[in-house]
Amino acid sequence: MVHLQEKYQERRRTAVPNEEVWHSLNAEQKMALYRLQGYGYRLLFVRQLFAGPLAIIAQFDQLATISSDGAVDLSPSITLRA
């Protein structure tokens, strides 16, 4: 089984350090991610949208998002580049 992180490798020339990605989350997103980490979810990246930051997280091959208000969507309609 190919892990999601290996499947969707960083395409930028310089990867953003995990600490910098973590600091781009707001308090509600950090609390939601902290709860989900116990189930095996990990932070992939954060998209900066007009509505606020959108955290993209994954558990194996299952993607999920955490909106700027901390709401978790376990079935988002997003597609990552392969």
> Which tens digit of pLDDT belongs to each residue from 17-47?
677 888 889 999 999 999 999 999 999 999 9
- Residue 38: left (phi > 0), alpha (psi -120 to 50), or beta? alpha
Please tell me the distance from the alpha carbon of residue 56 to that of residue 45, in angstroms, as a whole number: 5
Question: Is the whole-model pTM more than 0.85?
Answer: no
SS (H, E, C) 15-41: CCCHHHHHHCCCHHHHHHHHHHHCCCC
Indicate whether 82 belongs to any domain: no
Q: Name the residue with higher pLDDT: 10 or 73.
A: 73
In tens, the pLDDT along 38-75 reads: 999 999 999 999 989 999 999 988 999 999 999 999 99
Give the structural domain span for 60: 4-9+16-73
In a domain, 29, yes or no: yes
Q: How many domains does the chain have?
A: 1
